[in-house]
Homo-oligomer: A and B are copies of this chain.
Amino acid sequence: MSTTMEHVRNGVDTGTLFATLDAVKAQPELGIFQFRVANRWIDGSHNRSTIKDFYAAGGEDTSRAEAFDLDAGEPAILIGNDTGPNPAELLLHALAACLTTSLVYVAAARGVRLTKVESKLEGYMDVRGALGLSDEVRNGFDQIRVCFDVEGDASPETLQELVERAKARSAVFDMVTNGVEVYVGTAA
């Protein structure tokens, strides 16, 4: 029991973390993952995604007991009735979550005990792009600003370095800053 407790830092079982790293290092094909979402339109700006199954480490992962159902919507000014956060806000949530988890895992691996990780994100958008009123402004955010507030048993320099490592390792930060090829097709 005490051995297990020593392994757990920031709620992360570092024994399992290092074992996972070793396993993927030894068998790189275990690193191939596929994540999935099924979305269904409900009405107006209200739609819902169901998230459950995924492929990981050489096979279908069936460890999740329940699916996650997530709603989306728009506020009144964008002709919705707040059935959920809007898609741009959901992207900010994905980015915040990924940077935070990356930071927490890096801290656990490096022996830093965190007491606080908070972040505020802002995205600036000229909606004339998405509304089709101007070809001179883009549809999405012009820029996103993230401000972290991190506390733990390490120097300010070490905590700052954790933020830098989180940026360097975050999957969503990579996708949002560098872009991804997206193929959109229709069912036959």
Taking beta carbons and an 8 Å cutoff, which residues of A are in contact with B? 10-13, 16-17, 20-21, 24-25, 28, 31-41, 43-47, 49, 51, 54, 56-57, 61, 63-65, 68, 70, 72, 74-79, 82, 84-102, 104-105, 114, 116-134, 137-150, 159-160, 163, 167, 169-187
Cα A43 to Cα B20 in complex, Å, equals 19
Are the C-beta atoms of A37 and B96 separated by less than 8 Å? yes
Are the C-beta atoms of A180 and B187 separated by less than 8 Å? no
Cα A170 to Cα B47 in complex, Å, equals 15
A45 CB contacts on chain B under 8 angstroms: 11-12, 101, 104-105
Cα A141 to Cα B91 in complex, Å, equals 15
**Majority SS of interface residues in chain A?**
mixed
Are the C-beta atoms of A31 and B187 separated by less than 8 Å? no
State how many copies of this chain the complex holds.
Answer: 2
Are the C-beta atoms of A98 and B93 separated by less than 8 Å? no
Are the C-beta atoms of B141 and A185 separated by less than 8 Å? no
Are the C-beta atoms of A85 and B101 separated by less than 8 Å? no
Are the C-beta atoms of A140 and B172 separated by less than 8 Å? yes
Cα A5 to Cα B19 in complex, Å, equals 60
A28 CB contacts on chain B under 8 angstroms: 128, 133-134
Are the C-beta atoms of B75 and A34 separated by less than 8 Å? no
Given A11-B46, A74-B101, A93-B51, verify A132-B79 contact (CB < 8 Å). Answer: no
